[in-house]
Amino acid sequence: MDYLSTLNEPQYEGVVNTEGPAMIIAGAGSGKTRVLTYRIAYLIKEKGIDPFNILSLTFTNKAAREMRERIERVVGLNARNLWMGTFHSVFARILRSEADRLGYPSNFTIYDSDDSKSLIKTIVKEFGLDDKVYKPNVVLNRISSAKNRLVSWEEYLANPLYEADDAAAQKPEMGRIYKAYCQRCFKANAMDFDDLLFNTNVLFRDHVDVLNKYQHRFKYVLVDEFQDTNVSQYLITKKLSSVSQNIAVVGDDAQSIYAFRGANIENILNFEKDFPDLRVIKLEQNYRSTQNIVKAANSVIARNKGQLKKSVWTANDEGNRIELIKSISDNEEGRFVSSAIFEQKTQNNYQNRDFAVLYRTNSQSRAIEEALRKSGIAYKIYGGLSFYQRKEIKDLMAYLRFAINTADEQSFRRIINLPKRGIGTTSVEKMVVAAFEHDIPLWEVLTNIQAFLPGRAANAVEQFVTLVKSFQISIETKDAYEAASHIAKNSGLLKELYADKTVEGLNRYENVQELLNAIKEFVDTPDVEDKSLGAFLQDIALLTDADNEDPEDTDFVSLMTIHSSKGLEFKNVFVVGLEEDLFPSQMMMSSRADLEEERRLFYVAITRAQENLYFSYALSRYRFGRLINCEPSRFIEEVDPSFIFVNTRYGSREPQLGRREGPPGVTSNFARNLMASKKAVPKKPPQYHKPSADFRPSDTSNLQEGMKVEHPKFGFGKVHKMDTSGANKKAKVIFEDFGEKTLLLSFAKLRIVE
């Protein structure tokens, strides 16, 4: 019981009241993770609950892992059997074991957002739509938000409200794309991130026996970061605990920063309605930060209208004021940060790990990184381009994925001509289309290729099929590591990378080796029972970059976005890039007009700091390679000025727009002349034709000489000659403005005018 003696009163309440629904509203730094972990420990130790019956949901793998460690410290290895993980990973696991109920195989693939985007891109292309109007990002967001509100494509198409919405947004085909996207995913035996939640809802809705099973199993449900759950997630947890009523949610409405992902503060209000016996506990004492930091944070968040009543306070020392630094450029900002870190380290005995640099967008890491590297300070960048998003890794993963799930269209497209085997886009399209037209699996087309694609490419496809079949055999007979190395070697990927002796090529080769190492590690982990490649892929699909821990060298400065800093704390925190339009983000303001969420983000950034906090902004910054002028963020003025100390040591010079920093030396003159000479060659901007708004490509299979056509870029022209000699039909068209062009009919979008 000794671990309980360290708790204050509301924390204690939160730990020991394990029965019935509970909502713990926890201010920043009030020890919410501690309450959550002790609550679980209490359930196991004092209440004798089997860890097997406890489900604990978090938002990141990192948070889950940390919590498991902390619980193990109190209850020992007994915590092994806890169901603890992110929403996505826990329900992916459940979906795999119940997949047949939904008509999926249990080895379904999980599409990451890159896969989703490229699938959308091909659909848009196939529909003959303009991908400038139907941008993959925008379309995916729309689909994602529909799924997060549990609107299926059937409901979407049936509801005139969505139709009107899309028509107003000049995107009338959205419903059709949504439908095609879902059908393609299903046919590929794939689920995207949102499907994992959506389909869990479907599973529990349509299969009461399954729901009962898990309701019985999870007698206690705990949810961390409740303010960031979306409707889909909320309904799952609500259903699971509707029998036992033992649900505890922990969150802070002031730290809700994932509305763009469908997070819904209304969940907090709904929760009170759905569970009338709710016990509400407020944790308001902050143990993390100095008084100055807590008060400054309060002065910021007080500007938001829609917050729950809560007053965070601290008994800590007053502490230093927030230092505000203005720099002339992003590079100087980086230099300031690194010298301030250096000064603090030498004067006050801090280590690298006591510092974090937080920014709004990942791209801001570059300037900071450069400065830290120059001054020899160890650092680590979290997020950004993760290991698993690298091209070479995705390539090998695509081979592994395809061998296991031959319906996976995205992986297929990735590897069919990699390394080059003479199977071009045309052949790929034909194969995919054949699978759809005959309503058969893609694999069936591939194995009977002569029937669908007679000709030169067929041989290559047959070889590809033989290759994949041999991979499948090695996957069945060997463990994950041996199978993966076999595939890496025999696919020709390793060979191709090995041949590349550039620094980049070497790096990529090493990355592939690293992936293989990771697989080896997986195989060698004693806990893991299923050592097959399939098991590894399932394990890895939902893992992000947060996994790569370097145990030997742990003393580094942390660089990350504010989003990924949630839940963490550091003695010294730099919030950089406080410029209007960057933070608050222009994008966010114009698309969703949500200043309050940006402000909550600012609040999160401030409350990461324990002892010292720095704000920094630059008067000019590079964007798309161009220097732009910047205004200080409105957020700086929103902090009560009595908490701010303006540091005048830096930033006395004014920015020089349009040229790089530093005195114009030989190099920069040379560079400038080079630029000028390049500019001297006038680039004539091509005056492309603007296709009419209702431009739709026609079926060109019956195109005849003499027909008048419209091309989306070249405008109007007359078909001069048809060339049917080759494998691909071509048409020579004389355009009014561009002269004669030869167009491949399988590619070109042409509208037949008459």
Q: Residue numbers of the site for DNA (CB under 7 A)?
A: 59-61, 86-89, 113, 121, 132, 135, 137, 193-194, 257-258, 260-261, 361-363, 383, 417, 420-427, 457, 542, 544, 546, 560-561, 563-564, 585-588, 591-592, 622-625, 683, 685-686, 688, 713, 727-728, 741-742, 744, 747-748
Cis, bond preceding 419 (omega within 30 deg of 0): yes
Q: Based on CB atoms, which residue is closest to DNA, 303 or 592? A: 592
Map residue 84 onto helix, strand or coil.
strand
Q: What are the Cα distances from residue 327, in Å, to 343, 575, 645? A: 18, 13, 15
Helix orientation angle between 113-126 and 174-187, rounded to the nearest 10 degrees: 120
We find the least distance from the C-beta atom of residue 518 to DNA, in angstroms, to be 17
Q: Based on CB atoms, which residue is closest to DNA, 312 or 431? A: 431
Measured distance CA(598)–CA(577) in Å, rounded: 14
We find the least distance from the C-beta atom of residue 76 to DNA, in angstroms, to be 28
**Residues in Cβ contact with 538 at an 8 Å cutoff, skipping those fewer than 6 apart:** 92, 96, 107, 110
Q: Based on CB atoms, which residue is closest to DNA, 87 or 471? A: 87
Phi, psi torsion values for 425, nearest 5 degrees: -60, -40
We find the least distance from the C-beta atom of residue 193 to DNA, in angstroms, to be 4
Measured distance CA(585)–CA(582) in Å, rounded: 4
Map residue 55 onto helix, strand or coil.
strand
Q: Based on CB atoms, which residue is closest to DNA, 202 or 745? A: 745
Q: Based on CB atoms, which residue is closest to DNA, 448 or 728? A: 728
Phi, psi torsion values for 65, nearest 5 degrees: -65, -45
Residue 32 a catalytic site member: yes
Residue 141 tokens, joined: 């967001």
Query: Quick check: 330 and 364 in contact, CB under 8 A?
Result: yes
Within 149-276, residue ranges assigned H as helices are: 153-158, 160-168, 174-187, 193-206, 208-217, 231-240, 266-274
We find the least distance from the C-beta atom of residue 334 to DNA, in angstroms, to be 15
Residue 33 a catalytic site member: yes
We find the least distance from the C-beta atom of residue 685 to DNA, in angstroms, to be 6
Q: Which of 33, 361, 447, 513 is catalytic?
A: 33
Residue 255 a catalytic site member: yes
We find the least distance from the C-beta atom of residue 436 to DNA, in angstroms, to be 19
Q: Based on CB atoms, which residue is closest to DNA, 622 or 716? A: 622
The four Cα atoms 510, 513, 515, 517 give a dihedral, to 10 degrees, of -130
Q: Which of 255, 290, 314, 406 is catalytic?
A: 255
We find the least distance from the C-beta atom of residue 8 to DNA, in angstroms, to be 30
Phi, psi torsion values for 395, nearest 5 degrees: -60, -50
Torsion sign across C-alpha atoms 79, 84, 89, 95 = positive
The closest of 652, 345, 654, 663 to 337, measured between CA atoms, is: 345
Q: Based on CB atoms, which residue is closest to DNA, 380 or 520? A: 380
We find the least distance from the C-beta atom of residue 657 to DNA, in angstroms, to be 15
Q: Give 302-325 as a DSSP string.
A: TT-SS------EE-S---PPEEEE
Q: For residue 250, list its beta bridge partners.
A: 24
Q: Based on CB atoms, which residue is closest to DNA, 132 or 305? A: 132
Identify the helix (H) or strand (E) that includes residue 409: helix 409-415
Q: Quick one: DSSP state of residue 547? A: G
Q: Which of 98, 166, 194, 225 is catalytic?
A: 225
Residue 291 a catalytic site member: no
Map residue 183 onto helix, strand or coil.
helix
We find the least distance from the C-beta atom of residue 223 to DNA, in angstroms, to be 14
Phi, psi torsion values for 394, nearest 5 degrees: -60, -35
Identify the helix (H) or strand (E) that includes residue 519: helix 503-524
Q: Based on CB atoms, which residue is closest to DNA, 383 or 492? A: 383
We find the least distance from the C-beta atom of residue 213 to DNA, in angstroms, to be 24
Q: Which of 184, 600, 608, 621 is catalytic?
A: 608
**Residues in Cβ contact with 139 at an 8 Å cutoff, skipping those fewer than 6 apart:** 120, 124, 171, 174, 177
Q: Which of 192, 194, 224, 596 is catalytic?
A: 224
Map residue 291 onto helix, strand or coil.
helix
- Chain CA centroid to CA 389, Å: 10
The closest of 370, 382, 332 to 556, measured between CA atoms, is: 382
Q: Which of 18, 32, 508, 621 is catalytic?
A: 32
Q: Based on CB atoms, which residue is closest to DNA, 274 or 429? A: 429
Catalytically annotated residues? 32-33, 224-225, 255, 608
